[in-house]
A and B are shown apart, each in its own frame.
Chain A
Amino acid sequence: MSATTAAALGLRLRHALAEQRRAQLPRAVFAWCVAAGLAALLPLGLLLQGWLGPLLFLLALLGAGAGLRGAHVPAWLRLMLTVGVAGLVLYVYGFRFGRDTGAGLLATMLALKLLELHRLRDARSLLSFSLFAIMAAFLQDQGPLTLLLSLLGAVLVLTALARVSELESGVPAEAPGVAGRLRSTGLLMLLSLPLAAAGFLLFPRLPAPLWGLPENSDEAKTGLSDRMSPGDILNLIADDSPILRVEFLDGRPESQNLYWRGPVLTRFDGRTWALTPWLSQPRPVPASARDSQRFRYRMTQEPNERHWVLGLDAVDLSTPGTGQELQLLQDDSVVASKRLTEVTRFELESVIDGVIPGALPEYVRRQMLSLPAEFNPRTADLIRRWRSDGMDSNALIDRALDLFNREFSYSLSPAPLGRHSVDEFLFETREGFCEHFASAFTVMMRMAGIPARVVTGYQGGFYNPIGDYVLVRQSDAHAWSEVWLEGQGWVRIDPTGAVSPQRIESGQAAGTDLQSGWRAGLRPLLDAADWLRHGWNTVVLGFNAARQRSMLLSLGIDASDWREVGLVLAGGLGLALGLTLWLVLRGTPRSHDPLVAAYLQCCARLARRGLKRSMDEPVLAYARRAAARLPDSGQSLLSLSSAYAAQRYEPAPDAAARIDLIRKLRRFRSGRVLPDAAPSA
């Protein structure tokens, strides 16, 4: 029964499609519009969640296929599809309106616009829409793949625009092929590059946005989060995407000192470490640390949709010229004032092994010692025993690290832990990785009355010799502890280093993938590719009002004076326009025949020297007229011209001589030109 219903419905649908065969766009125009629309949909579709992108792409392909066969999709079906798919998008994003939901809806509209592509007007609105979709893709992602696909989409959109406008202005007599059309669009864009570059560099930027960037409804971007449960960091270790690129301005710390601090977790519920909300408040920047190694560096951080700035160890925000718009929180983590939704650049100064003066306020101390009751009794016993041995804090720390060093092993696939996780880890499984060690060590310290906290972040990084910077990847995610010692302040202790020193020296994934196999051979290539990406990030993505100001300042222009900026903008645009105009006008006529092209180029060169060939002048007459004014090259021009005439007008020219002639014509230069004699009366 249902099969027959479905069949009847299908028949009706086909009927409806067949009834309305009245597409008006020529097939070629239609195909160009479809190609442009799909190309614009691609970068956006790849960024949508899961199967949404493929679904929209499939829908667009179906619509385009129906359109190519001349079928009209009836309005009621289009309406149903629009409502249905839009509802689906909203459902996927959980009915929250964010940037990603908007992008999904935009992609839906673009895909469904392909179903109604009948008139010139439809084609043009589709193409405008496509351009907007490309822009929306940039709001979501600015990576190299998106850039490449978007550039491709833009080329196709402009080409389709040109093709569509031929409906109005007439198809040229020798209609160019696909390659020819793409080439002419490419040429158009290349010719426009100077103007685009001038506009990009000189157009005044907004120092502060007029309105905020809508946030994504879905924050589940992998990376560090405000809590750490067992196994969380393990998920990150498999991810090779870059997090940070750091250029040290003077001297690079040794790799075992590269700790990039992220969220500081101070609240423990027996299983999960989490942020303490009231410690995540800004606090005044303390005075500089003493007795320390200082490092100044420029850090380019990939977007993480969060506030944390992953500075090296203790970031000193009191250093002038660094860390604008950053804040220090009560728990000593550093945050930006807005979410990092794009590649951001910071210049920072950090202190390694510094002593930060000051005391720990009592309410903070209490939080740093708090533990859930009735958890891990055996660990508590052990600590009580150590304390009763008369150990002070330093001895206790050494003792714990010694314990880890002697009896524990580093493993990325440890056995699962039960309710008393620290007990089971310390006395039974005795294997784990950074988060187990950091968690257990911090709990032990708190039991011993030493204020302690877990810090998550990244450790190490690969030094890229080509670009002279350190690249930190997601796989460098790490967790360690910090303890408060009187007179020394917060001191970093990495218990993982006690177990597996080589993990700290050469990275988490040491010996697993990056160093071995085929990737080792590709190392220089990968370095170079990452260096290019880093360059793009710093030069292009990080260009903002501040960078523009300093660029103008280096040209001696005060960016705060709008008249000067306007003048520079006008001047730059004028120069670029001049360059474009020169390039456009310079274009010599092209011919499909290389011989004719070479001859015309030769004529153009002579015309630039003041010997213009008039349109009705025969080749030989022109050669004679020109030769009279060319003392150096007149003879050769005459012989070349007669050879050219022979090649052009003889019935069976010699192929070898033809190639030779082309070469000679290309090489021909006029030499001296005599002034024009008085016109013969």
Chain B
Amino acid sequence: MRGLASRLWAWLQGQAERRLPALTRLRQPEDLPILIHRRRIYVLPSGFGLFFCGLLAAMAIGALNYNNNPALMLVFLVASSVHTALLRGWLGLSGLRLVEVSAAPVHAGETAELRLRFEGDGRRARRGLCIERGEARQVFELLPEAFASAALPMATERRGLQPVGRIKLSTRWPLGLFVVWSWLHPRAEILVYPRLEPQSPPLPGEGCAASSRRQRSPSEEVHSLREHRHGDPLRLMAWKRSAQLGRPIVREFESPAGVEVRLDYAQLAHLPPERRIERLARWLVEAERRGLRSELRLPQSRIGPGRGEAHLHAGLRALALLP
């Protein structure tokens, strides 16, 4: 019975979305910024709101019947206050703008943090705003002359660009008697890196350089010194310099040959495509962790050689966007 009802409701919703896109604004993604104007704000009483209105109506009928003016005044005063509260809740949404949707990329299977940045028109404090996406919800508020950003966890399944989807922005502020809501469907996508292969063979060509006693070719020369960063291998430490300056310093090499690890998509032909991508992603991360310069060769493109966050991001992004 319950299942039937929910299926019927889902079907009705689907019909409404198909037939009345302008009314429901559920399907079409929109460009940012999205201004929440009066034509896309919906209001319905909450369950308690319905009960409360019923109570007020009963009180009004009683007061009218007995022509009891103080009771009637009480009823009208409370009812008007409820209405003004509704107005305030509505105004809390009206004029709000969603200006930015972003999320730091994560690997598929991890949970991304979706950040939504809202901007008011600077006149009112907007309290008790609540964003919902699927099961996840978060409450935030927006003070006058300020921005607010709210974060929602977003589960990721597959690599690539993942649309943000539909977000419900609602408020029950200030009395909890009415739900004022609007649907946001921003044209925004978040990047999801490929999943990392859990067990992968060592980096290619590592047989010779497996130990830290790496032979440095004479053509390599110290290019510069920089501050130690987390994950820098010990062998790069510039010990004397560090002792002089009192903080850890590492050497950076500029190698004309430039490539310590070459990661080639074509060489992994024996694996299914998705496994290849996962392994390459793992190797890319591994190379970065060990401070090795890497080069990624994909069917259509070539990333690197290089090292560092930007390089890693470019590589993972290219992998993520492979068809």
| Given A169-B130, A188-B85, also A128-B51 (CB < 8 A) | yes
| Given A135-B59, A158-B175, A585-B91, also A199-B80 (CB < 8 A) | yes
Residues of B within 8 A of A139 (CB): 62, 66, 68, 71
Q: A150 at interface (Cβ–Cβ under 8 A)? A: yes
Instruction: Give chain A interface residues in 174-211, CB to chain B under 8 Å.
Output: 184, 188-189, 191-193, 195-197, 199-200, 203, 205-206, 209-211
Q: A618 at interface (Cβ–Cβ under 8 A)? A: no
Provide the B246-278 mask, 1 if CB < 8 A to any CB of A, else 0. Answer: 000000000000000000000000000000000
Provide the A338-362 mask, 1 if CB < 8 A to any CB of B, else 0. Answer: 0000100000000000000000000
Q: A112 at interface (Cβ–Cβ under 8 A)? A: no
Partner pick for A135 among B62, B122, B130, B171, CB 8 A cutoff: B62
Cα distance A615–B99 when bound, in Å? 13
Q: A517 at interface (Cβ–Cβ under 8 A)? A: no
> A138 to B64, Cβ gap below 8 A?
no
> A154 to B173, Cβ gap below 8 A?
no
Partner pick for B128 among A169, A195, A581, CB 8 A cutoff: A169
Provide the B65-97 mask, 1 if CB < 8 A to any CB of A, else 0. Answer: 111111111111111110111011001000000
Q: A587 at interface (Cβ–Cβ under 8 A)? A: yes
Cα distance A622–B130 when bound, in Å? 33
Among B138-146, B194-202, B294-302, the one that faces the other chain is B138-146
> A540 to B65, Cβ gap below 8 A?
no
Cα distance A40–B76 when bound, in Å? 17
Residues of B within 8 A of A154 (CB): 74, 77-78
Across the A-B interface, how many residue pairs have beta carbons closer than 8 Å?
Answer: 160
Q: B176 at interface (Cβ–Cβ under 8 A)? A: yes
Residues of A within 8 A of B130 (CB): 169-170
Provide the A149-171 mask, 1 if CB < 8 A to any CB of B, else 0. Answer: 01000100010011011101110
Cα distance A281–B269 when bound, in Å? 114
Partner pick for B176 among A168, A210, A342, CB 8 A cutoff: A168
Partner pick for B70 among A211, A541, A587, CB 8 A cutoff: A541
Q: B124 at interface (Cβ–Cβ under 8 A)? A: yes
* B80 nearest CB across to chain A (Å): 4
Cα distance A169–B141 when bound, in Å? 10
Q: A318 at interface (Cβ–Cβ under 8 A)? A: no
Residues of B within 8 A of A199 (CB): 76, 79-80
> A544 to B74, Cβ gap below 8 A?
no
> A580 to B84, Cβ gap below 8 A?
yes
Q: B48 at interface (Cβ–Cβ under 8 A)? A: yes
Cα distance A584–B68 when bound, in Å? 30
Provide the A507-551 mask, 1 if CB < 8 A to any CB of B, else 0. Answer: 000000000000000000000000000000000111111000000
Residues of B within 8 A of A168 (CB): 172, 176
* A28 nearest CB across to chain B (Å): 16
Cα distance A206–B127 when bound, in Å? 41
| Given A170-B141, A589-B125, also A161-B175 (CB < 8 A) | yes
Cα distance A42–B76 when bound, in Å? 22
Q: B161 at interface (Cβ–Cβ under 8 A)? A: no
> A193 to B80, Cβ gap below 8 A?
yes
Residues of B within 8 A of A184 (CB): 174
Residues of B within 8 A of A553 (CB): none
Chain A residue with Cβ nearest B70: A138
Cα distance A161–B176 when bound, in Å? 8
Cα distance A588–B140 when bound, in Å? 21
> B124 to A135, Cβ gap below 8 A?
no
> B59 to A132, Cβ gap below 8 A?
yes
> B71 to A135, Cβ gap below 8 A?
yes
> B173 to A165, Cβ gap below 8 A?
yes
Cα distance A589–B145 when bound, in Å? 9
> A169 to B171, Cβ gap below 8 A?
yes
Q: A555 at interface (Cβ–Cβ under 8 A)? A: no
> B172 to A165, Cβ gap below 8 A?
yes
Q: A173 at interface (Cβ–Cβ under 8 A)? A: yes
Q: B216 at interface (Cβ–Cβ under 8 A)? A: no
> A158 to B87, Cβ gap below 8 A?
no
Cα distance A588–B66 when bound, in Å? 42
> B73 to A200, Cβ gap below 8 A?
yes
Residues of A within 8 A of B77 (CB): 154, 189, 192-193, 196
> A195 to B124, Cβ gap below 8 A?
no
> B70 to A170, Cβ gap below 8 A?
no
Q: A307 at interface (Cβ–Cβ under 8 A)? A: no
Q: A365 at interface (Cβ–Cβ under 8 A)? A: no
Residues of B within 8 A of A589 (CB): 122-125, 144-145
Q: Which of B48, B52, B80 has the most CB of A within 10 A?
A: B80
Residues of B within 8 A of A188 (CB): 81, 84-85, 88, 174
Partner pick for A164 among B59, B72, B145, B176, CB 8 A cutoff: B176
| Given A172-B141, A206-B67, A211-B65, also A580-B87 (CB < 8 A) | yes
Q: A134 at interface (Cβ–Cβ under 8 A)? A: yes
Q: B12 at interface (Cβ–Cβ under 8 A)? A: no
Provide the B34-73 mask, 1 if CB < 8 A to any CB of A, else 0. Answer: 0000000000000010011001000100111111111111
Residues of A within 8 A of B51 (CB): 128
Cα distance A179–B3 when bound, in Å? 49
| Given A199-B79, A205-B67, also A191-B84 (CB < 8 A) | yes
Shortest beta-carbon contacts, A-B, top 9: A165-B176, A170-B139, A169-B128, A192-B80, A589-B144, A195-B80, A138-B71, A196-B80, A196-B76
Known: A139-B71, A192-B83; 17 extra A-B contacts, CB below 8 A, are A128-B51, A132-B55, A135-B71, A138-B63, A161-B176, A165-B174, A173-B143, A188-B85, A192-B80, A195-B83, A196-B73, A203-B72, A206-B65, A213-B66, A541-B70, A544-B67, A585-B91
20 residue pairs from A and B, CB less than 8 Å apart = A138-B71, A154-B78, A158-B81, A158-B175, A165-B173, A165-B175, A169-B139, A184-B174, A188-B81, A193-B77, A195-B84, A196-B73, A199-B80, A200-B76, A205-B64, A209-B67, A541-B70, A580-B87, A584-B87, A615-B119
Task: Tell me the A residues contacting B by CB distance below 8 Å.
Answer: 124, 128, 131-132, 134-135, 138-139, 142, 146-147, 150, 154, 158, 161-162, 164-166, 168-170, 172-173, 184, 188-189, 191-193, 195-197, 199-200, 203, 205-206, 209-211, 213, 342, 540-545, 577, 580-581, 584-585, 587-589, 600, 615
